[in-house]
């Protein structure tokens, strides 16, 4: 006992209160993360918080020791370091809030070009002030200077403790997949972020044929086997509308707390035409659109390798002119370059609209208003009405966190309900529905909605953050986060759609080609929604792990898993079949 006191406890004699105090935010983050990941049970919470506290306490102890060894003994400097540390944790919180993922390498390059006006919001400023006050309180109340000898001893104990936690994490004893999710939330935010940046990434495999083991695995998960049905015809005008962040929870037909009049335009379309509720497999725009275009779950590898598979390329081979129109800046994240690699002849966005006087005045916030984007789309379709045309429209007014703040004088039918007279996502989606209704009327007026026209309405990805409209989404339902998918034609298609919980974004590309009677490439992971008998698998690739779901299993594993079954699945998910 004396040895434990002397070598393990005594180095913390003056600092244990400070370290406990500074560990509290991480415990809150851990509890919030469990809730966001759908794993908040009493057993998981108690297990995670115990290990999280030990990990955070030891990590902060190591940082404190390093500061002492560097000669930093000023309380204000310590408070400033703590504040910067908690900013990293805040990034973790925001990603868990909006995307149910942690902050990592995937999101670092999304920061450039973002709209940071929200930093001026009084709520954000208040949060930073509270955070700063907490850091100052902890430093002034509990910080004490340590000798060099104490700092060295404390550093040694902290590093030893962290090594033991790393090699013998008790959370791994929990049942699957709780063992993964709880362990996933343990590393301090800064450690997780650095590790995500430095981690070795899986590489793409472009194959013309599959090896015997991979072919067997592909058959087991029924991928690379899309086929057409008799549902389609040779449409010559195809319009894919991808609404920013739309999910089922904003539709009255799914969520009864949404006022009927708020989502009536979309609900009416889903009643009149074939529609489906798709599982999402991505959580950001570039990734969502890439999966839609490729029917391949590994979006990052797809766009980093020039889109080895893309239904847009297939349409281009069929003689379609292909155009991508968006309200936001087309150069964001080099998407003007990437989407041309995906097969688009033209990528048009806010940079172009700024050169057009009639549109320039409607550019604000993230970009051109949706109504004006639809207006331009009608003009573009009119100009190209004599040639086969595929167009993707990506809207922007419903961008998180609150949707467009200022509609620049454009009037909408107002919804007399709570949350609809101020900027909120429910209001933004109500107005999106009105814009879609107006767009369809405009196509009719121009004579462009005929028997050769196919219009698809869906979303790039869902949004998870419900602030400040939480009560509209309680009690939570699993299908709230699914994506609507509507197939609009002059004469509604009568063929049934698959009624399967595993239909997903992966099925959009094969559905489009099926509707056009164009042969699907061999590299699709999904199946046409009109193929009602197809077995489906969902491959949801996160920042550094994957979730594979079939009718028989739900498998969660890190992308660097040593398990042989996991490694085989990773090989399958990184394979682009290009024969």
Closest C-alpha to 514, from 504, 526, 499, 502: 526
Residue ranges in the chain modelled with pLDDT below 70: 1-9, 111-115
Cβ(275)–Cβ(263) below 8 Å: no
Contacts for 68 with CB less than 8 Å, ≥ 6 apart: 145, 146, 148, 150, 151
d(CA 90, CA 108): 14
Phi, psi dihedral angles at 422 (to 5 degrees): -135, 165
Closest C-alpha to 577, from 217, 322, 152: 217
Task: Provide the pLDDT for residue 9.
Answer: 64
d(CA 486, CA 491): 14
Architecture label for domain 224-577: 3-Layer(aba) Sandwich (3.40)
> What are the tens digits of pLDDT across the range 342-379?
999 999 999 999 999 999 999 999 999 999 999 999 99
Phi, psi dihedral angles at 34 (to 5 degrees): -60, -40
d(CA 286, CA 461): 10
> What are the tens digits of pLDDT across the range 16-52?
999 999 999 999 999 999 999 999 999 999 999 999 9
Task: Provide the pLDDT for residue 112.
Answer: 65
* Strands laid side by side in the 545-549 sheet: 538-541, 545-549, 554-558
- b (16+ CB within 10 A) / e for 131-140: beebbbebbe
Which stretch of DSSP H or E encloses residue 207? strand 205-207
Is-cis flag, bond preceding 469, omega within 30?
no
- Cα distances from 78 to residues 64, 120, 138, 145, 154, in angstroms, run 8, 26, 9, 11, 17
Cβ(251)–Cβ(532) below 8 Å: no
Residue 189, classed as helix, strand or coil, is helix
Q: Structure pTM?
A: 0.93
Closest C-alpha to 297, from 33, 579, 549: 549
**Percent of residues, the chain, with pLDDT higher than 90:** 85
d(CA 80, CA 87): 11
Cβ(196)–Cβ(104) below 8 Å: yes
Task: Provide the pLDDT for residue 267.
Answer: 98
Contacts for 314 with CB less than 8 Å, ≥ 6 apart: 343, 513, 518, 520, 521
Sole residue written with tokens 């590790």: 195
Closest C-alpha to 297, from 526, 14, 545: 526
- Cα distances from 342 to residues 254, 336, 390, 574, 575, in angstroms, run 33, 10, 13, 18, 17
Which stretch of DSSP H or E encloses residue 324? strand 321-326
Task: Provide the pLDDT for residue 115.
Answer: 65
Q: 392 - beta bridge partners?
A: 240, 324
Q: Is beta strand 538-541 parallel, antiparallel or unpaired with respect to 545-549? A: antiparallel
d(CA 318, CA 566): 38
Q: What is the largest CA-CA distance in the chain?
A: 89
d(CA 164, CA 159): 9
Phi, psi dihedral angles at 277 (to 5 degrees): -115, 110
Token pair, residue 404, equals 């467009």
d(CA 117, CA 364): 12
Task: Provide the pLDDT for residue 268.
Answer: 98
Secondary structure, 3-state, 296-312:
CCCHHHHHHCCCCCCHH
CATH 3.40.720.10 in the chain: give the residue spans: 224-577
d(CA 283, CA 98): 9
Residue 560, classed as helix, strand or coil, is coil
Token pair, residue 179, equals 């063992």
Cβ(504)–Cβ(223) below 8 Å: no
d(CA 483, CA 536): 17
DSSP string, 232-281: ----SEEEEEEETT--GGG-TTT-TTS-TTTSHHHHHHHHHS-EEEEBP-
Task: Provide the pLDDT for residue 506.
Answer: 98
Closest C-alpha to 350, from 337, 340, 365: 365
């Amino acid at each position: 006992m004396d040895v434990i006191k002397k070598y393990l406890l005594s180095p913390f004699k003056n600092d244990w209160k400070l370290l406990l105090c500074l560990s509290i935010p991480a415990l809150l983050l851990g509890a919030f993360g469990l809730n966001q990941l759908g794993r908040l049970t009493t057993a998981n919470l108690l297990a995670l918080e115990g290990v999280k506290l030990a990990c955070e306490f030891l990590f902060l102890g190591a940082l404190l020791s390093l500061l002492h060894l560097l000669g930093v003994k000023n309380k204000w400097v310590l408070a400033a370091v703590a504040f910067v540390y908690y900013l990293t944790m805040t990034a973790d919180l925001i990603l868990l809030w909006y995307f149910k993922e942690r902050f990592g390498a995937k999101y670092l390059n999304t920061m450039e070009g973002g709209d940071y006006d929200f930093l001026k919001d009084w709520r954000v400023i208040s949060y930073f002030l509270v955070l700063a006050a907490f850091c100052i309180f902890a430093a002034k109340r509990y910080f004490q200077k340590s000798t060099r000898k104490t700092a060295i001893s404390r550093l040694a104990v902290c590093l030893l403790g962290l090594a033991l936690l790393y090699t013998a994490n008790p959370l791994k004893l929990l049942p699957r997949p709780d063992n993964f999710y709880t362990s996933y939330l343990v590393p301090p935010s800064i450690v997780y972020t650095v590790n995500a940046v430095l981690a070795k990434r899986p590489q793409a495999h472009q194959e013309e044929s599959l090896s015997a083991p991979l072919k067997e695995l592909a058959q087991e998960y029924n991928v690379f086997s899309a086929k057409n049905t008799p549902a389609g015809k040779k449409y010559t005008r195809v319009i894919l509308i991808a609404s920013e962040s739309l999910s089922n929870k904003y539709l009255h037909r799914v969520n009864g707390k949404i006022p009927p009049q708020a989502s009536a335009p979309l609900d009416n379309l889903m009643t009149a035409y074939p529609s489906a509720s798709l599982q999402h497999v991505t959580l950001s725009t570039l990734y969502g659109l890439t999966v839609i275009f490729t029917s391949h779950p590994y979006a990052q590898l797809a766009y980093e390798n020039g889109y080895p598979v893309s239904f847009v390329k297939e349409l281009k081979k069929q003689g379609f002119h292909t155009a991508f129109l968006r309200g936001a800046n087309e150069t964001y994240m080099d998407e003007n370059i990437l989407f041309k690699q995906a097969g688009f002849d033209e990528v048009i966005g806010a940079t172009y609209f700024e050169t057009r006087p009639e549109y320039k005045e409607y550019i604000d916030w993230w970009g051109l208003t949706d109504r004006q984007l639809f207006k331009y789309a009608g003009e573009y379709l009119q100009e190209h009405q004599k040639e086969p045309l595929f167009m993707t429209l990506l809207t922007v007014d419903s961008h998180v966190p609150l949707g467009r703040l200022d509609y620049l004088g454009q009037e909408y039918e107002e919804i007399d309900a709570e949350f609809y007279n101020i900027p909120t996502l429910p209001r933004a989606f109500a107005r999106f529905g009105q814009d879609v209704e107006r767009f369809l009327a405009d196509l009719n007026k121009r004579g462009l909605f005929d028997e050769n026209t196919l219009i698809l309405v869906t979303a790039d990805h869902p949004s998870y953050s419900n602030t400040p409209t939480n009560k509209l989404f309680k009690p939570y339902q699993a299908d709230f986060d699914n994506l609507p998918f509507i197939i609009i034609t002059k004469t509604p298609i009568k063929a049934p759609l698959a009624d399967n919980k595993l239909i997903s974004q992966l099925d959009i590309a094969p559905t489009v080609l099926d509707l056009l009677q164009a042969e699907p490439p061999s590299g699709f992971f999904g199946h046409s929604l009109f193929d009602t008998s197809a077995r489906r698998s969902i491959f949801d690739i996160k920042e550094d792990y994957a979730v594979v779901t079939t009718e028989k299993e739900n498998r969660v594993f890190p992308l660097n898993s040593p398990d042989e079954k996991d490694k085989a699945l990773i090989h399958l998910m990184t394979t682009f079949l290009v024969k």
